[in-house]
Structure 1
Amino acid sequence: MKVLVFTKYPRMGASSRLRTLQYLPLLEQHGFEFTVRSLFDEAYLENLYNNSSRSRLAVLKYYCKRLITLFSVYRYDLIWIEYELFPYLPAFAERYLRLIGKEYIVDYDDAIFHNYDLFDNSIIRKFLAKKIDMVMAKSSCVIAGNAYLAERARAAGGKYIEWVPTVVDQSRYVPMLKEKGNQKVIGWIGSPSTQKYILDIKEALHTVCELHSARLLLVGATQDIVDEFSGIEVEVAAWSEDSEAQLIQQMDIGVMPLPDGPWEKGKCGYKLIQYMACGIPVVASPVGVNNDIISDGKCGYLADNLEQWADSLSILLSSQEKRQMLGDAGRKAVEKTYSLQVQAPILARIFNSIIKSDVT
């Protein structure tokens, strides 16, 4: 069974890597054959991460290349789309797929519909506010990473909606035994664009690090963030796919602060799942899917203000037994639900059901 995969980015892009590309080897064992076509390349992503300008001519070339690929869809049994085919253009390509009777699945791990319905430009809002709703409604299946995204798909008229969380490969992320008496580490993993969230709990982190002689490990942040935490020990580590699991293993507690906004409700809690897979207890803002992951897994604390952040972190820093208990619970939740090994067969079932329904 042949599947054409339209990702937004190559493997360097987190959403494409986690929601699509990491699944391919396991799905191939279920009899699927994949052809992957990303919209943007690594050069575009590097410019994006470095806040460099992106050439409009280059973007036009990317779009033209994807348009050409669309004429080959008849060779495939199923089309798998990340988000949308052409960002900031009307959904003509998705309409074309339905017009020719080609089944497509669309996957969301982010509230990208807010790119349009909350855009500052009134022209974008007028013409594209309902674009993603139309893409969802025309799809054979919407795969949603959390309840907020699934609810949007239902409201849009999606015919078939499945929840598939963002997951880790549990064979790569494993707990590591910590030596007693070592300096405790509060950790965070993210990117330069999301490091602003860690600053929202700066006062609480200062308080507990000074009180418990702990240090911070910030993976994926820029070096200048160290200046925001004068007086406590801070290590900034560069992110890479090869090293992220080993860096998380060095942490004693993982944190995920978030403001309670419409964009944040679309997040799928991947940081929490990374921490949990390494047997690390978590503290997170009670926003969106964070509530479900922590409540269901019983693997940490939800903190709604600076006082709660400081209290939760202090409890964990003071008790190795509590850290172990919550960390073990998180690891079990990953093995039960939030792992590649669990969710790949579910994706295979979804694909098979759509392909078989198309044949019949």
Structure 2
Amino acid sequence: MSSVDIRKLQVIAPNFKKRLSGVTATVVRLVPVQSRSIAIAATGPVIPPHVPQIPLTALLTMPRSGPDGHRVWHARRNVEMIGGLALKYLLGKRLKLVFTSASQRKQSGLTRWLIRRMDAVVATSERTNSYLEHPAQVIMHGIDLDDYTPAQDRAALRGRLGLPDGVLIGCYGRIRAQKGTDAFVDAMIPVLHAHPEAHALVMGRATDKHRAFEQSLKDRVAAEGLSDRLLFLPEVPVEDMADWYRVLDLYVAPQRWEGFGLTPIEAMACGIPVIATRVGAFDALVVEGETGTLVDPDDIPALAEATQAALDAPETLARWADNSRPHIAEKFSIEREATDLVRLYRRLLA
């Protein structure tokens, strides 16, 4: 475990959720990069060993003041804002409270009340910022370009992962209607019928209340005779995800709603072009006609047509792939995100 000296700690990044999520992925990726510039540690029930961290129990006994007087507590969920307020006002810890919002809808009364008690607020996109009542600084997410790289030997990697050769189209993330998993399945059925060399991959986990939804999708695929070509794969750890992007020819992000949405930049950093819906920050991530294309959310015929058009024009797909990583390297490196956040922390600690 990558532990730190709590007495020297300047910033704490809580991650109170046990299950994999976009927020968890953000904390796991950012904290090691930020730790090169400032004394930061994550804390939570499940933090990978390579991430600088302190145990949750240490929050109760840590010194009241940090090396700069205050410490920064950077929350990304309501429960983490509540935790920071409890540490500050019930246990007397000297904290400056920061909240990052990715939501693109009107917040609940509780969330608005919590946000008003923050010392600084970060929005992950201009669209998110427009929903906030509290002034916010826009800092868009980035990706670790050392971890997410194109495949050296895609065929060998596919073999190692037990995947078929041919055209692979991926859709990764939680399996639920909000994420558009059913839109992906419905769009891929005609695509796969038209392209016998193609396979589609759905990777992610369905929570208990979405298990029936997942089974209905598998049943739909089976009824089309495509169970061996539209594959449902189990969720893998964050640190293994890059390989699953590298094997693809095309990534599809079919969400109906999204806060920010990391998967398109993960795919493009691996040199994989993207077809996405116009939700979250996707219209700022995907360059229309250069790194992929965009369609309206819940427009399944348009999603199928865009995918089929891409497969029918391999030279276009190759050009999108060539453009994808340079675009992410220029605009969405994790170093840029980490630098902007550390600059914010230092202002609060000054």
Tell me if TM exceeds 0.5: yes
| Cα distance between partner residues in 2 of 1:132 and 1:14 | 19
Residues 144, 164 of structure 1: 8 Å contact kept: yes
Q: Deviations over 1:4-33 (max 9, x none)?
A: 414133685434433333222222222x21
Residues 4, 35 of structure 1: 8 Å contact kept: yes
Among 173, 179, 183, the alignment partner of 1:200 is 183
Among 204, 215, 239, the alignment partner of 2:199 is 215
Residue 69 (structure 2) pairs with residue 75 (structure 1): no
322-331 or 191-200: bigger deviation: 191-200
| Cα distance between partner residues in 2 of 1:7 and 1:90 | 9
- CA drift of 1:100 comes to 8.2
Residues 297, 329 of structure 1: 8 Å contact kept: no
Residue 130 (structure 2) pairs with residue 151 (structure 1): yes
Among 21, 46, 66, the alignment partner of 2:28 is 21
1:288 match: secondary structure: coil
Aligned residues: 308
Residue 121 of structure 2 aligns with which residue? 142
Residue 170 of structure 2 aligns with which residue? 187
| Higher helix fraction (1 or 2) | 1
Q: Deviations over 1:12-70 (max 9, x none)?
A: 5434433333222222222x2124332xx249xxxxxxxxxxxxxxxxxx99x69846x
TM-score using structure 1 length: 0.73
Residues 297, 330 of structure 1: 8 Å contact kept: no
- CA drift of 1:195 comes to 8.1
- CA drift of 1:254 comes to 0.6
Residue 98 of structure 2 aligns with which residue? 105
CA RMSD of aligned residues (A): 3.5
Residue 328 (structure 2) pairs with residue 345 (structure 1): no
- The 5-angstrom pairing of residues 1-360 of structure 1 reads 2-9=9-16, 13-30=20-37, 32-38=38-44, 41-42=45-46, 68=60, 72-75=63-66, 77-84=70-77, 86=79, 93=86, 96=89, 102-110=95-103, 114=107, 117=108, 129=109, 131-153=110-132, 155-156=133-134, 158=135, 161-176=136-151, 182-193=165-176, 197-213=180-196, 214-221=198-205, 224=215, 225-230=217-222, 231-232=225-226, 233-238=229-234, 239-259=236-256, 264-265=257-258, 267-295=259-287, 298-304=290-296, 305-356=299-350
Q: Percent identity?
A: 18
250-259 or 235-244: bigger deviation: 235-244
Distance 1:22 1:194, change over 3 A: farther
Distance 1:200 1:111, change over 3 A: same
Residues 91, 135 of structure 1: 8 Å contact kept: no
- CA drift of 1:113 comes to 6.7
User: What one-letter code is carried by the residue in structure 1 that aligns with 2:240?
Assistant: S
User: What one-letter code is carried by the residue in structure 1 that aligns with 2:246?
Assistant: Q
| Cα distance between partner residues in 1 of 2:128 and 2:58 | 26
User: What one-letter code is carried by the residue in structure 2 that aligns with 1:218?
Assistant: V
Distance 1:91 1:221, change over 3 A: closer
225-234 or 76-85: bigger deviation: 76-85
| Cα distance between partner residues in 2 of 1:216 and 1:294 | 21
- CA drift of 1:355 comes to 1.7
| Cα distance between partner residues in 1 of 2:85 and 2:335 | 36
Q: Deviations over 1:226-275 (max 9, x none)?
A: 3331222122322222321111111111111122xxxx25x212111111
302-311 or 207-216: bigger deviation: 302-311
Distance 1:82 1:175, change over 3 A: same
Unmatched runs of 5 consecutive residues or more in structure 2: 1-7, 48-54, 156-163, 207-213
- CA drift of 1:196 comes to 6.1
| Cα distance between partner residues in 1 of 2:17 and 2:81 | 20
TM-score using structure 2 length: 0.75
User: What one-letter code is carried by the residue in structure 1 that aligns with 2:98?
Assistant: I
- CA drift of 1:211 comes to 0.4
Residues 88, 94 of structure 2: 8 Å contact kept: no
| Cα distance between partner residues in 2 of 1:88 and 1:4 | 14
Q: Deviations over 1:81-121 (max 9, x none)?
A: 22356479799538839x9874222222345974xx2xxxx
Distance 1:132 1:113, change over 3 A: farther
